[in-house]
Amino acid sequence: MARAKTNAARLLDARGIPYVVRVYDADRAFHSADEAADLLGVPGETVYKTLVVLREGARAAGKPMLVLVPSNRQTDLKKLARTLGEKKLRMATKAEAERLTGLQIGAISPLAVRSGAFEVLVDEAVRTIERIHISAGIRGVDLEVGVADLLAATEARLSPAAGP
């Protein structure tokens, strides 16, 4: 089966950033990030899920956030809010996440959304790895890319975002 190039891969190509495409489900079914790690045969701490997080209250009009955390950890919204100086943050609903990103849940990628449309935050645990696995922008397909390259391509900031 021929693979169509995703917008995320096109962005990396345009910037000359090396990456590896890994298909873990040719049927493109939904899988959690933990399941994706198992299917890829890689440690969960190298597979990052991309979550859409929204501000609440007076600053709700600010940019939505894409928060990347390791597949084997949960997002700690209270810790993230404190770090960002926000009163309250919340996870986007499935419908909100898909509407804002134009991508399906399970396929949201910081490389496949409009540039500048989101504030991108990556959990600081990423400092312990050299290469990261993220969605390619379609379900069942992963991109393995260098951490420094991903941070540069997405203009992401490191932030404590994951809990235990």
Would you state the pLDDT for residue 2? 43
Could you confirm whether domain 19-159 is CATH 3.40.50.1240? no
- Please state, in angstroms and rounded to a whole number, the distance separating the CA atoms of residues 154 and 134: 12
Measured in whole angstroms, the distance separating CA 116 from the mean position of its chain's CA atoms is 15
Q: Give the β-pairing of 65-70 and 119-123.
A: parallel
pTM, entire model: 0.91
Would you state the pLDDT for residue 29? 83
Please identify every stretch of the chain with a pLDDT value under 50, giving residue numbers as ranges. 1-2
**Considering only CA atoms, which of 99, 83, 92 is closest in space to residue 65?**
92
Would you state the pLDDT for residue 1? 40
> Where are the strands (E) in the chain, listed by range?
19-23, 48-55, 65-70, 89-91, 119-123, 131-135, 141-146, 157-159
- Please state, in angstroms and rounded to a whole number, the distance separating the CA atoms of residues 66 and 54: 9
- Please state, in angstroms and rounded to a whole number, the distance separating the CA atoms of residues 84 and 89: 10
Distances 108 to 8, 59, 61, 84 between C-alpha atoms, Å: 10, 24, 21, 22
